[in-house]
Chain A
Amino acid sequence: MKVSAFLKKYTMTIALVVVFVFFTALTGGRLLYAQNISNLLLQNAYVLVMACGMLLCILTGGNVDLSVGSILCLVGAVSAQLMSKLNLNAFLTIVLCMVFAVLIGIWQGFWVGYIHIPPFICTLAGMFLFRGLGRVVLASKTVNISNDSFLNTFTSYITVPGIDGDLHWSALITGIVVSILLVLFTVFGRIKKARKNYETGSAVVAFAQIAVIDALIIAYSWKLTNYKGIPVMLLWILLVILIYTFITSKTAFGRYFYAVGGNEKATKLSGIDTRKVYFAAYCSMSVLAGFSGLLVAARIGSVNGDTGMSYEMDAIGSCFIGGASAYGGSGTIPGVMIGAILLGVINQGMSIYGLDNNWQYVVKGTVLLIAVIFDVVSNHKTGKA
């Protein structure tokens, strides 16, 4: 009973470990090279960032946002043109692009939230609309980005003079500090709970969990130490993840997304403005898509009309692989992140192994289907279908 409960709770984590070990073996250990580990998250930055927003959309009732790939392209295109045509400086470009992304978000959120256009159709329209606009902005060309401060804002690595030489010790030090902080937070959290006579879970489980997470953080930072240090893009990703984890798990507003997905009528009758919830979900999604546009533009160094093509599917896939319910109302950011990383490992593993691009689609599709089948069947068995 206990083993099966454990398996059920950590299915995707276990799947991630299995897939990781599998590809490590398949690639003869090449997956574990410092450069590959460092690139794993950077390559998938857009998935990690957009999956956070996509989770909010899916929570509201299994609705998805199909337009994110196009918004990513449009905002990326605008940033590239602002810098190449108007010679705007990097800071102003970023601000203007984010404002633009917010406007797109308001546009999408307004139709979905306040006019009740079905999200699928509204975002399908957005998918065509913004893709087209993006290509218009680019005038069907590939536009290069040569603004160094823009590129550095997203793609440089942190080097601390004096510590970092061939090995970037700053990465390892940061990793260790974060690990220690995590342990301290857990300890103090439990003490505080115990003092107020609240229930605390099993200490063994809590500390075992922290030990595993700490080990991973230190191992990861050791890899970063061996390859250029901490990437700035990683900080951006972590920032988004932390904000969204906080919103969904701690705040009252985050709670409303789950409530709307669980029972919209009951939520409305509880005095919660469901329109605002939908608006927020789709608005934030577009903002994150726009931000991903900047990340992708900086990483690739150029934008063309096909940038961000089918990226929406990666974000949606990560959510469902990460355990978000296809009917809404359940799913967590950590779960979704594991889903995103799982997809990333599969992607990168197959690329390193040299599997044909077409087959990569087949594998990804199969994994997504298996994940959802597993979710539906296991819920069905426990009588919650």
Chain B
Amino acid sequence: MADNILVMKNITKLFPGVRALDNVNLEVKRGEVHAIVGENGAGKSTLMNVLSGTFPFGNYEGEILYNGEECHFKNVRDSEKVGIVIIHQELALVPELSIAENMFLGNERRGRFGLDWDETFNQAATHLREVGLKDAPTTLIKDIGTGKQQLVEIAKALSKNVKLLILDEPTSSLNEEDSKMLLDMLLQFKTQGMTSILISHKLSEVAYVADKITILRDGATIETLDNSDHHVDEDRIIRGMVGREITDRYPAREHHISDEVGLEVRDWSLCHPVYTDKCVVNHVSFHVHKGEIVGFSGLQGAGRTELAMSIFGKSYGANISGKMFVNGKEVRPKNEREAIEAGIAYVTEDRKANGLVLIDTIARNNTMARLEKVCHRGIVDVDEENRVANEYKEALQTKTPTVQQKVNNLSGGNQQKVLLSKWMFADPDILLLDEPTRGIDVGAKYEIYCIMNDLVAKGKSVVMISSELPELLGMCDRIYVMNEGAIVAEMTAAEATQEKIMAAILHSDNKGNEEDNKGA
């Protein structure tokens, strides 16, 4: 008992109509990394919000013992005072302010007159060193990447004298390299005596870093696994999460790739839309057969999203050059509308910001990319629209009472299905799927994979951009590896392995450096 930094007993939290948490118990030992896993909606974030005081005391049932004392947090400030800091999935940083200002936001270093800037920057620099960031504390948040922003959040937590650090999906928007760095940092903090709770969908990370793994399902604790030797079986975790055996994480597919080429891109280059002298994609050529899933692997910033978006009617980039062919015919879409008409669809990686109108209904989102298909002389046939939406709802098994439901009431996986239906309704020949399974749970991922298989079975060409290597290896027929705006390797699914892909990226990096050196 004495070495438990945190004990949560019989926590029950009700939302209107939903029992989000049902008698959840959690024990966290001092100095361990404790992972919490579970499908979307299992109650992970709710539990952490109870702990951090986002849901104030009295709003839930049960008790929280921190260092053996019962706590009644009324807000986040209360929990931070005793050293519990939560870092949310969506980063809470102000882009226009500097790293140091963000770090001490709401917790400002005061001097005799106003802010003590020397103190602010000094302390910020110290904490930045602790997380291995070399950027100056005066750098603006908007000028550093997501990976570094995540580190700033952790440095911010350190500045609050954190004893128990809670990370909610810290790596969901990071590439493999940055993720690894972040996890290693957690291990390093562990040796310094800090306790952390990690919420993650990525089981490989959990297995790598956690000492204990608690599995939540439908708002209840299922079990806590010991992972001190870091050898827990991923399938074992999945079994606990979904309550059933998933023998295959990727659905089997009959490979019938046609000889015909659906999409071919030749010598494609483009520049950053603002810094037009900076090339984001350099002379890239690739092709996708009909009935083929082609993966694009690479680190964050390798230019994959930019490539896909520029193909989709020049929706990103400046000075775009190169040729593209759809079904053997050259097309030059000038905008998104022409791209859709040419049979191309780009399914965004960020469904909330760029994909869906969240305050609108499923039915209205469903038809958005090709509204004219349910229109007669510019007038929307609402009945037809609802019929179509219901059809897709059945086909994709979207879980919702009606298609009149607003999209923001759906879970991530179901939102992704609505996004896919929207683009399937546009009836493209080529689908560019950008991170199609980001932030959704294992069960929903499997369903998305099945939908992808159905699409290629119908002879569509699918491009799949993903930062999760196992997923690419499990789903694709062929994989292109991109790094710094260029394709550095191409391999078939049979010959590809995680090691080979990473090696291709690292090797190309070295080559780049050598050339730089020659230039200098």
Binding site for B on A (CB under 8 A): 193, 196, 198-199, 250-253, 255, 258-259, 262-263, 265-273, 325, 329-330, 384
* B358-A255 in contact (CB<8A): no
Report the minimal beta-carbon distance from A186 to chain B, rounded to whole angstroms: 15
Knowing A252-B372, A262-B360, the reply to whether A269 touches B379 (Cβ < 8 A) is no
Q: Which residues from B are CB-within-8-Å of A329? A: 357, 359-360
Knowing A268-B336, A270-B369, the reply to whether A263 touches B378 (Cβ < 8 A) is no
Q: Which of B47-55, B346-354, B470-478 contacts A (4 or more CB under 8 A)?
A: B346-354
Q: Which of A266, A325, A330 counts the most B-chain CB atoms under 10 A from its CB?
A: A266
Knowing A258-B360, A265-B353, the reply to whether A251 touches B379 (Cβ < 8 A) is yes
Question: Nearest chain-A residue to B354 (Cβ)?
Answer: A265
User: Is B45 positioned at the interface, with any CB of A under 8 Å from its CB?
Assistant: no
* B358-A263 in contact (CB<8A): yes
* A198-B387 in contact (CB<8A): yes
Q: Which residues from A are CB-within-8-Å of B340? A: 270-271
Q: Which residues from B are CB-within-8-Å of A267? A: 357, 368
Report the minimal beta-carbon distance from B387 to chain A, rounded to whole angstroms: 7
Report the minimal beta-carbon distance from B407 to chain A, rounded to whole angstroms: 9
Report the minimal beta-carbon distance from A381 to chain B, rounded to whole angstroms: 9
Known A263-B354, A271-B340; further 15 A-B contacts with Cβ < 8 A: A198-B387, A250-B380, A252-B371, A252-B378, A258-B364, A259-B357, A259-B364, A263-B353, A263-B357, A266-B357, A266-B368, A268-B315, A268-B336, A272-B336, A384-B359
Question: Nearest chain-B residue to A265 (Cβ)?
Answer: B354
Knowing A253-B378, A266-B357, A269-B355, the reply to whether A193 touches B315 (Cβ < 8 A) is no
Report the minimal beta-carbon distance from B336 to chain A, rounded to whole angstroms: 4
* Assembled-state Cα–Cα distance A53/B302 (Å): 45
* A252-B375 in contact (CB<8A): yes
* Assembled-state Cα–Cα distance A73/B336 (Å): 41
* Assembled-state Cα–Cα distance A228/B150 (Å): 72
* B360-A271 in contact (CB<8A): no
User: Is B339 positioned at the interface, with any CB of A under 8 Å from its CB?
Assistant: yes
Q: Which residues from A are CB-within-8-Å of B59? A: none
Report the minimal beta-carbon distance from B146 to chain A, rounded to whole angstroms: 18
Report the minimal beta-carbon distance from A345 to chain B, rounded to whole angstroms: 30
* A384-B372 in contact (CB<8A): no
Give the contacting residue for B359; candidates A193, A251, A330; CB below 8 A: A330
Give the contacting residue for B356; candidates A258, A266, A325, A330; CB below 8 A: A266
* Assembled-state Cα–Cα distance A53/B355 (Å): 28
User: Is B386 positioned at the interface, with any CB of A under 8 Å from its CB?
Assistant: yes
* B336-A193 in contact (CB<8A): no
Q: Contact mask B456-485 → A, CB, 8 Å, 1/0?
A: 000000000000000000000000000000
Question: Nearest chain-B residue to A256 (Cβ)?
Answer: B371
Give the contacting residue for A259; candidates B313, B368, B387; CB below 8 A: B368
Report the minimal beta-carbon distance from A116 to chain B, rounded to whole angstroms: 14
Q: Contact mask B359-385 → A, CB, 8 Å, 1/0?
A: 110001000110110010011100100
* Assembled-state Cα–Cα distance A196/B357 (Å): 29
* A263-B380 in contact (CB<8A): no
Q: Which residues from B are CB-within-8-Å of A262? A: 357-360
The count of A-to-B residue pairs whose CB atoms sit within 8 angstroms is: 83
Give the contacting residue for A251; candidates B335, B360, B380; CB below 8 A: B380
- 16 pairs, A vs B, C-beta closer than 8 Å: A198-B383, A250-B380, A251-B378, A258-B360, A259-B360, A262-B357, A263-B354, A263-B358, A266-B354, A269-B336, A269-B346, A269-B354, A271-B313, A271-B339, A272-B368, A325-B359
* B383-A270 in contact (CB<8A): no
User: Is B406 positioned at the interface, with any CB of A under 8 Å from its CB?
Assistant: yes
Q: Which residues from B are CB-within-8-Å of A263? A: 353-354, 356-358
* Assembled-state Cα–Cα distance A266/B372 (Å): 17
* B383-A196 in contact (CB<8A): yes
User: Is B23 positioned at the interface, with any CB of A under 8 Å from its CB?
Assistant: no
Give the contacting residue for A252; candidates B313, B353, B380; CB below 8 A: B380
Q: Contact mask B417-455 → A, CB, 8 Å, 1/0?
A: 000001000000000000000000000000000000000
* Assembled-state Cα–Cα distance A259/B379 (Å): 16
* A272-B337 in contact (CB<8A): yes
Report the minimal beta-carbon distance from B390 to chain A, rounded to whole angstroms: 10
Q: Which residues from A are CB-within-8-Å of B372? A: 252
* A384-B408 in contact (CB<8A): yes
Question: Nearest chain-B residue to A200 (Cβ)?
Answer: B383
* Assembled-state Cα–Cα distance A26/B140 (Å): 60
* B360-A270 in contact (CB<8A): no
* Assembled-state Cα–Cα distance A198/B354 (Å): 32
* A270-B408 in contact (CB<8A): no
* A255-B380 in contact (CB<8A): yes
* Assembled-state Cα–Cα distance A249/B372 (Å): 15
Q: Contact mask B315-350 → A, CB, 8 Å, 1/0?
A: 100000000000000000001110111000010100
* Assembled-state Cα–Cα distance A51/B370 (Å): 30
* Assembled-state Cα–Cα distance A193/B384 (Å): 11
* Assembled-state Cα–Cα distance A251/B382 (Å): 10
Report the minimal beta-carbon distance from B419 to chain A, rounded to whole angstroms: 9
* Assembled-state Cα–Cα distance A197/B89 (Å): 45
Q: Which residues from A are CB-within-8-Å of B386? A: 198-199
Question: Nearest chain-A residue to B422 (Cβ)?
Answer: A270
Give the contacting residue for B379; candidates A252, A265, A330, A384; CB below 8 A: A252
Report the minimal beta-carbon distance from B517 to chain A, rounded to whole angstroms: 41
* B359-A250 in contact (CB<8A): no
Q: Which residues from B are CB-within-8-Å of A384? A: 359, 406, 408
* Assembled-state Cα–Cα distance A252/B375 (Å): 7
* B371-A255 in contact (CB<8A): yes
Q: Which residues from A are CB-within-8-Å of B358? A: 262-263
Q: Which residues from B are CB-within-8-Å of A325? A: 359
Question: Nearest chain-B residue to A379 (Cβ)?
Answer: B359
* Assembled-state Cα–Cα distance A277/B179 (Å): 41
